[in-house]
């Protein structure tokens, strides 16, 4: 199948999903749309690197490209410095079980918005760890930070999320 | 077991896509083409995704099918005789003569069916034919020696008697005339008043018997069976080979059996656990690290296949059988990181041959080998967010082969239950969607079902 044809099909079929991947990394909607378009351009120029491994492989490849495009954008904004500022705020400890119980009872839309409201660096680490399946070591490599810093930001993302859920449940 | 909060988060939001991209693809296409032109034609997406060679699997499938068909034809050719046929062909003709006058004694040729004392048509026809061929002679002999003719022996269910000199019967080979017994009886009936010393009931019974035409040359052996009271020369007229004629009804061969089964256990290919993505990053000209643009490795999670169907078994002989049927298999795969669910429903036609090692009244042990071609009749990929699905196109036919020892317990003549542990091999096809069978081509299942003997 021709590259442009395949990408057009993917745009129509998986466009919403790929845009949501960008939104998970980039809070601003307009910027996320730019990342989405840049991701498609990047996919086209790198088409020769794509190997069709059956249904779903193009979608996965494009999702990876979208995440990569967003990460490059975030790196230019130097999220590490932003993270340093946030790290100074103390947070409560959260148990995994209670958080899992709370997450199960929240609407997807609300949960999605909570993640969007996380600070960029925490959201980035959370996305990479939870949705991309990277280890903290890999995240540290990709973001140019220490492994312990990645783990700490993940911990803070979790704590922030728990706080938001607590407020949500009290409403 | 409680799920980790990260798993729950991923399940809920991995495919959550509330926002549809704005604008048409045409605008994006212009950007892509411009960027492609800048990057160079080789790197841009003008090329096609490489297609794998096909053809080898077709050859393998054709060879398997040819082997099965050839084996079946061979079995049909060599093993066509069944118990049913041989049982019906077995018969005994008893010739009795009066002890005091063996030389000119009248003969009673009696056709007796070996199993139930009812006359067998083929033997009856032969007996009649034999007597018919010597009809004129026998009538003449009978007429010439009325005083010597022995009175009719008690019938005992025997059907036909005719007068014929014993010596002549012994010395002359019996010629088998292949003809319908009705015809022979009709011919004989025209002249039978003094030839057939039989009552009408027995004759009618003979005519009501199913027709079995004897194709083999029958051999006749003369054996004095009982010399004490009366001399009875027993002529055994039988088709070869002789096999057991008194099988229980439940063991009598039934040509067809219909099976309905489902897979109750299927666990040889356990669900794969998602492995962490392999990190592959590149460094751009400014020293920034970024993800590799190579295709990411997908992680697949498989649910156990659900399968069921019907099978039709045709008994070639008492031991060998051919089997075909229709089998449905449902395969479900969850793909990460895309979060898509692939749902595939296959309809397969197995063709196989089997052999019964043990065949008792209620219990059978058997083994079979089969090949199966399965066509995907429903293939789609679905996502929860947004809730939609897409049909998967051009899914190739899935070929498999396997062996299945089995055991069947028959409750009665009609119905039985069976279990068949099956070891199958699914031929790999690179174009097929990723399924459990693709990841684990060697797969063990346990078929359990009911079989109806028709």
Domains with residue ranges and CATH for chain B: 89-235 (no CATH), 249-453 (2.40.160.20)
The percent of chain B in helix, strand and coil, each rounded to the nearest 5, is 25, 35, 40
Contact A53 B298 (CB under 8 A): yes
For residues A156 and A92, membership in a common domain is answered with yes
Residue A14 has pLDDT above 80, yes or no: yes
Domain around A152:
79-170
Rounded CA gap, B152 and B154, in Å?
A: 6
pLDDT value at residue B142: 45
Within B106-197, residue ranges assigned H as helices are 121-133, 135-144, 166-171, 181-190
Mean of pLDDT values over A78-106: 67
DSSP E strands, B7-98:
91-96
* DSSP symbol at A118: S
Half-sphere exposure of B2 (CA within 13 A, CB side): 12
Find the CATH number of the domain harbouring A30: 1.10.1740.10
**Chain B residues closer than 8 Å to A49 by CB:** 293-295
For residues A64 and A88, membership in a common domain is answered with no
Mutation target to probe the B interface, by most B beta carbons within 10 A, among A12, A27, A56 is A56
Q: Mark which of A19, A54, A76 sits at the end of a domain.
A: A76
Nearest by CB to residue B35, choosing from A1, A45, A135, is A45
Residue pair A111/B13 in contact by the 8 Å Cβ criterion: yes
Contacts of B213 (CB under 8 A, 6+ apart): B122, B178, B180
In total, how many domains does chain A have? 2
For residues A21 and A101, membership in a common domain is answered with no
Residues B43-85 have pLDDT tens digits of: 455 544 433 334 545 565 566 556 555 555 555 555 444 443 4
For residues A15 and A52, membership in a common domain is answered with yes
Contact A41 B47 (CB under 8 A): no
For residues A87 and A71, membership in a common domain is answered with no
Q: How far is CA B172 from CA A132, B89, B98, B220, in A?
A: 96, 22, 20, 10
For residues A89 and A106, membership in a common domain is answered with yes
Residue pair B372/B350 in contact by the 8 Å Cβ criterion: yes
Q: Mark which of A25, A42, A76 sits at the end of a domain.
A: A76
Contact A48 B42 (CB under 8 A): yes
DSSP E strands, B254-362:
256-265, 281-283, 289-291, 299-302, 306-315, 320-336, 341-359
For residues A67 and A91, membership in a common domain is answered with no
Q: Which run of H or of E encompasses B399?
A: strand B398-410
Give which of A124, A115, A42 is closest to A78, Cα–Cα.
A124
CA B29 to chain centre: 57
**Chain B residues closer than 8 Å to A72 by CB:** 288, 290
Task: Tell me the residue length of chain B.
Answer: 454
Q: Which run of H or of E encompasses A6?
A: helix A3-25
DSSP-based three-state secondary structure for B128? helix
pLDDT value at residue B18: 74
| ipTM surpassing 0.85 | no
For residues A70 and A52, membership in a common domain is answered with yes
Q: Which two tokens stand for residue A110?
A: 């609300």
For residues A85 and A108, membership in a common domain is answered with yes
For residues A66 and A100, membership in a common domain is answered with no
Helix crossing, A3-25 with A108-116: angle to 10°? 80
DSSP-based three-state secondary structure for A135? coil
Find the CATH number of the domain harbouring A128: 1.10.10.10
For residues A109 and A134, membership in a common domain is answered with yes
> Tens place of pLDDT for every residue, chain B, 454 residues?
567 888 888 888 877 777 777 777 888 888 888 877 776 644 455 544 433 334 545 565 566 556 555 555 555 555 444 443 433 333 333 333 334 444 433 444 333 343 343 334 444 344 434 444 444 444 444 444 444 444 444 444 343 344 444 444 444 444 444 444 444 444 444 443 443 344 444 444 444 444 444 444 443 444 444 444 444 444 444 444 444 444 444 445 566 677 776 654 444 333 443 333 444 555 555 555 555 555 555 677 788 888 888 989 898 988 899 999 999 999 888 766 555 678 899 999 999 999 999 988 889 999 999 999 999 998 887 755 444 566 777 788 999 999 999 999 989 888 899 999 999 999 988 778 878 888 888 888 888 888 888 7
Q: Which two tokens stand for residue B80?
A: 């066509």
For residues A18 and A88, membership in a common domain is answered with no
Q: Mark which of A60, A76, A92 sits at the end of a domain.
A: A76
């Amino acid at each position: 199948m021709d590259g442009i044809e395949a990408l057009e099909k993917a745009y129509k079929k998986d466009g919403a999903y790929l845009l949501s991947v960008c939104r998970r990394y980039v809070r601003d909607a307009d910027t996320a749309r730019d990342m989405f378009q840049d991701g498609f351009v990047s996919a086209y120029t790198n088409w020769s690197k794509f190997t069709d491994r059956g249904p779903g492989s193009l979608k996965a490849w494009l999702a990876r490209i979208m995440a990569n495009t967003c990460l490059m954008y975030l790196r230019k904004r130097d999220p590490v410095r932003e993270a340093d500022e946030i790290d100074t705020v103390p947070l409560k400890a959260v148990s995994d079980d209670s958080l899992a119980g709370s997450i199960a009872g929240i609407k997807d839309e609300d949960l999605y918005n909570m993640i969007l409201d996380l600070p960029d660096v925490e959201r980035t680490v959370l996305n990479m760890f939870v949705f991309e399946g990277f280890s903290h070591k890999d995240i540290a490599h990709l973001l140019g930070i220490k492994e312990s810093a990645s783990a700490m930001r993940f911990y803070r993302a979790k704590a922030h999320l728990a706080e938001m859920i607590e407020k949500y449940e009290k409403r | 077991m409680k799920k980790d909060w990260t798993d729950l988060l991923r399940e809920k939001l991995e495919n959550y896509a509330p926002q549809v991209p704005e604008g048409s693809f045409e605008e994006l296409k212009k950007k892509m083409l411009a960027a492609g032109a800048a990057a160079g034609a080789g790197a841009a997406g003008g090329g096609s995704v490489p297609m794998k060679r096909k053809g080898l699997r077709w050859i393998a499938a054709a060879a398997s099918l040819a082997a099965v068909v050839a084996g079946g034809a061979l079995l049909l050719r060599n093993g066509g005789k069944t118990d049913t046929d041989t049982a019906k062909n077995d018969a005994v003709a008893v010739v009795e003569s009066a002890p005091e006058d063996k030389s000119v004694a009248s003969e009673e040729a009696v056709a007796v069916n070996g199993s139930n004392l009812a006359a067998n048509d083929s033997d009856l026809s032969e007996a009649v034919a034999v007597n018919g061929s010597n009809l004129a002679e026998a009538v003449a002999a009978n007429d010439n020696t009325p005083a010597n003719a022995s009175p009719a022996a008690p019938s005992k269910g025997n059907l036909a008697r005719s007068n014929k000199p014993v010596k002549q019967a012994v010395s002359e080979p019996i010629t088998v005339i292949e003809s319908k017994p009705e015809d022979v009886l009709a011919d004989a009936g025209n002249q039978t008043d003094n030839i057939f010393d039989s009552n009408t009931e027995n004759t009618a019974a003979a005519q009501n018997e199913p027709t079995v035409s004897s194709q083999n040359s029958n051999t006749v052996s003369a054996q004095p069976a009982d010399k004490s009271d009366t001399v009875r020369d027993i002529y055994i007229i039988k088709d070869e080979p002789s096999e057991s004629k008194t099988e229980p009804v439940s063991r009598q061969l039934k040509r067809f059996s219909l099976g309905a089964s489902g897979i109750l256990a299927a666990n040889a290919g356990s669900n794969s656990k998602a492995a962490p993505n392999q990190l592959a990053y590149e460094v751009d000209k400014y020293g920034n690290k970024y993800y590799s643009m190579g295709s990411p490795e997908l992680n697949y999670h498989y649910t156990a296949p659900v399968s069921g169907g019907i099978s039709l078994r045709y008994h070639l002989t008492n031991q060998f059988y051919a089997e075909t049927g229709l089998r449905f298999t449902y395969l479900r795969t969850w793909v990460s990181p895309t979060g898509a669910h692939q749902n595939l429903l296959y309809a397969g036609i197995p063709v196989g041959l089997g052999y019964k090692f043990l065949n008792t009244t209620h219990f059978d042990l058997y083994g079979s080998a089969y090949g199966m071609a399965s066509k995907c009749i429903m293939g789609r990929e679905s996502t929860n967010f947004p809730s939609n699905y897409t049909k998967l196109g051009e899914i190739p036919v899935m070929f498999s082969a396997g062996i299945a020892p089995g055991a069947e317990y028959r409750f009665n003549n009609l119905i039985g239950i069976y279990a068949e542990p099956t070891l199958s091999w699914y031929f790999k096809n690179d174009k097929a969607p990723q399924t459990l069978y693709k990841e684990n081509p060697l797969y063990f299942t346990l078929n359990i079902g009911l079989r109806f003997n028709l």
